[in-house]
Amino acid sequence: MTLTIENLRIAAAGAVLVRDVSLTLEPYRTVTILGETGSGKTLVAEAAMGTVAPELAVSGRIADGGEISDAADQGARRGAWGRRIAMLPQEPWVSLDPTMRSLAQVAEGHRFVRGLGPGPARRQARADLASLNLAAGDDRYPHQLSGGMAQRVAFASARAGGAPITLADEPTKGLDATMRDAVVALLRKAVEEGGSLLCITHDIAVAKALGGEIIVMLKGEIVERGDADTVLVAPSHPYTRRLVAAAPENWPTATATATASVPGDVVLEGTELAVSRNGRRLFSDLDLAVRAGEWIGVTGPSGCGKTTLGNVLLGLMPPASGRVRRRAGVASTRFQKLYQDPVATFSRHVSLRTALAETTARHRVSFDDVMTLLERLRVPVALLDRRPDQVSGGELQRVSLARVLVAKPIFLFADEPTSRLDPITQQETMDVMREVTRERGCGTLLVTHDRTMAERITERRITLGSDLA
């Protein structure tokens, strides 16, 4: 079955969000749409499913199999759900019904969409789960599944209706490398079995692993398209070139740039640290000294205690055993933390200027210091009068970095500070963070699930999670 989108256009009052997008997806083929937040790539997927917000005007034609429909008639797309197009949920854990066992959630596709009887539907669901090495998960509830298992249950239930076309919008968002590879393997399996895949992502590594046709979108338009081997290896459009260069594997390595700066004195030291959660030992016997100006990477799978380590070092929680020594005679406010989700760390109701003014008042520094920092971090001054939800994620993360730097930290714990940003913004943010922290002799512990990125920008790395079976 072939999915065709012709001349898709989506507009809001006064702005065109998607312009002139056409694509054809054939069996055994993959099309990946690459682009940053706001490029309109998710809207294309929503148009294919007929779930574009009703206040937006949609036009164009969408066809799958023999069914051709006007893209404006979104209700007409409902017949495709589960039958012709399977939509993978972004966050499988919350997309599964918490009160229903895995097997039943897969079986309902076979039963209600394909019309099998209850018995055969369950047998088929059991076979689906077994083929994903999940037989043991049959009678478990979602809260008993690991992230990876939930991912596979969601995959099996989305496809149980027998849809040949799979649609995946950011299927690897926030996943560590191991989980990401597992998801990519699932998607490839769907294609190898004769299906076709439309994948939307900003992760170059995922696009590369999936292969097929790449469509690069920028500000609602397609700026480049072609075979993955061509587009990702020899991009022609300047934006694509920046996008590919921004993939962590293409960053210059830290050792090359870091030889110039010699790490300074120890600012913080942990000896024989051990951390437990719910009675389970996450890691033990960890020795770590952070020196002024150096960057240390902390990597490891989800739940291995990366964030907990930072909280222990900052003194926000006690270790299960071992001790933490922070440099004597230094105010505790000079040990700072940069959070993963900047939006959550700002009050939604006040302007950024007010938020920053409160911080400078608290640390008794002049507001000019912040202005200097913001300039250094390339944050336009005009943004200060907006509220946190009115600026982009990358801008807000740089504002929160400025806010943290006001306290003149000698140690910074950066907890996945760029994981929600698209690659170009991620690289820009990381670059400027590194420059400023080095300049100011701030020792930085960077938590990331992206091992490649850690290898590129940190001098040393700690891997947690080896204690976990």
Partner 1 sequence: MGRLVAILGQRLVQAVTVAFVVSLLCFALAQLLPGDQALQIAQRRYGDDRVTTAAAEAVRAELGLERPLALQLIDWMGRTVSGDLGRSLVSGAPVWEEIRDQLGATLALAGAALGLALLLGPVFGALAGLRPGGLADRAGMAAAAAFRAVPNFVVGLLLMVGCTVLFGWLPVGDSRGWLSLLLPALTLGLGLAATSARIARDGVVAALRSPFFAFARMKGLSRAEAILRHVPRNAAVPLIAYLAVSFAFLIEGVVVVEEIFAWPGIGHALTHAIEGRDVPMIQGTALMLSLLLVLLNALTDLALLLVDPRRRA
Note the residues at the interface with partner 1 (CB under 8 A): 49, 81-83, 86-87, 89, 91, 94-101, 108-109, 112-113, 141, 143-144, 154, 157-158, 160-161, 163
* Shortest separation between residue 317's beta carbon and partner 1, angstroms: 24
Nearer to partner 1, 67 or 467 (CB): 67
H or E, element range at 147: helix 147-159
Helix, strand, coil distribution of the chain in percent, nearest 5: 40, 25, 35
Nearer to partner 1, 81 or 339 (CB): 81
Within 8 A by CB and 6+ apart from 234, the residues are none
Nearer to partner 1, 144 or 255 (CB): 144
For 66, the token pair is 């023999």
Nearer to partner 1, 167 or 430 (CB): 167
CB 441 within 8 A of CB 261: no
Nearer to partner 1, 56 or 113 (CB): 113
Please spell the DSSP secondary structure of 21-74, one letter per residue. Answer: EEEEE-TT-EEEEEE-TTSSHHHHHHHHHT-S-TTSEEEEEEEETTEEEETT-G
Running DSSP on this structure, what letter comes out for residue 234? S
Nearer to partner 1, 154 or 186 (CB): 154
Running DSSP on this structure, what letter comes out for residue 96? S
Residue 114 sits at the vertex; the CA angle it makes with 124 and 169, to the nearest 5 degrees, is 90
* Shortest separation between residue 141's beta carbon and partner 1, angstroms: 4
Rounded Cα gap, residues 34 and 207, in angstroms? 8
CB 275 within 8 A of CB 305: yes
Cα 444–chain centre separation: 22
* Shortest separation between residue 292's beta carbon and partner 1, angstroms: 45
* Shortest separation between residue 88's beta carbon and partner 1, angstroms: 9
Angle between helical axes of 393-405 and 423-439 (0-180°, round to 10)? 10
* Shortest separation between residue 276's beta carbon and partner 1, angstroms: 19
* Shortest separation between residue 362's beta carbon and partner 1, angstroms: 38
* Shortest separation between residue 77's beta carbon and partner 1, angstroms: 11
CB 419 within 8 A of CB 438: no
Nearer to partner 1, 86 or 205 (CB): 86
* Shortest separation between residue 143's beta carbon and partner 1, angstroms: 5
The single-letter code of the amino acid at 56 is: L
* Shortest separation between residue 96's beta carbon and partner 1, angstroms: 6
Cα 66–chain centre separation: 36
Nearer to partner 1, 36 or 108 (CB): 108
Nearer to partner 1, 64 or 108 (CB): 108
C-alpha distance across the termini of the chain, in Å = 43
Exposed, middle or buried: residue 280 (CB in 10 Å: 0-12, 13-18, 19+)? exposed
Nearer to partner 1, 142 or 417 (CB): 142
Exposed, middle or buried: residue 444 (CB in 10 Å: 0-12, 13-18, 19+)? buried
* Shortest separation between residue 161's beta carbon and partner 1, angstroms: 4
